[in-house]
Homo-oligomer: A and B are copies of this chain.
Amino acid sequence: MAVALDDLDRKILSELQKDAEQSLDEIARRVGSSKTPVWNRIRKMKDMGVIARTTAILDPEALGLEACFFVLIRTSEHEADWQRKFLKALKERPEVMEAHRLAGDIDYILKVRVKNARAYDQFYQALISEVRIYNVTALLSMEEIKSTTTLPL
């Protein structure tokens, strides 16, 4: 799955992560190359799936999404059918920003963005009514110290 990228590819990706709206000429200038090679490389990396998509990053506070919870989940159920239902529920809920299956003691972690604590409770009630869960711990974020989509290259 990993792909061979040279130094120029990495510089281009770094620029696109900083600001995907820069023109080709601008990017070319910054990475010390010119339009055609930059364009060819960008296209190749899109085709290969290194660049998945380009998106607008919005400010959650400005949209009134002021609460962020990390949810640690333990389950007693490990059958395929239960898991399918649980994953489906997570994928369908837009307030679930991230969901990971974990190694060890805790089975799943979620990151959930909502308007306020009440909205979180509604989400929680809906989730446990859809699937059986053994134990849930919610961690409330007081302050987002850092949040980046910029992967280290």
Contact = CB atoms under 8 A, between A and B. Distances in A.
Interface residues of A, number: 66
Contacts of A141: 100-103, 109
Nearest to A138: B104
A129 interface: no
Majority SS of interface residues in chain A?
A: mixed
Contacts of A17: 55-56, 58
B55 A57 contact: yes
A63 B2 contact: yes
A150 B57 contact: no
A113 B21 CA distance: 25
A61 to B, nearest CB: 5
A143 B101 contact: yes
A147 B52 CA distance: 12
A47 to B, nearest CB: 12
Given A48-B62, A106-B139, 10 more contacts: A13-B58, A17-B55, A19-B54, A50-B62, A52-B57, A65-B151, A70-B100, A87-B145, A90-B146, A104-B139
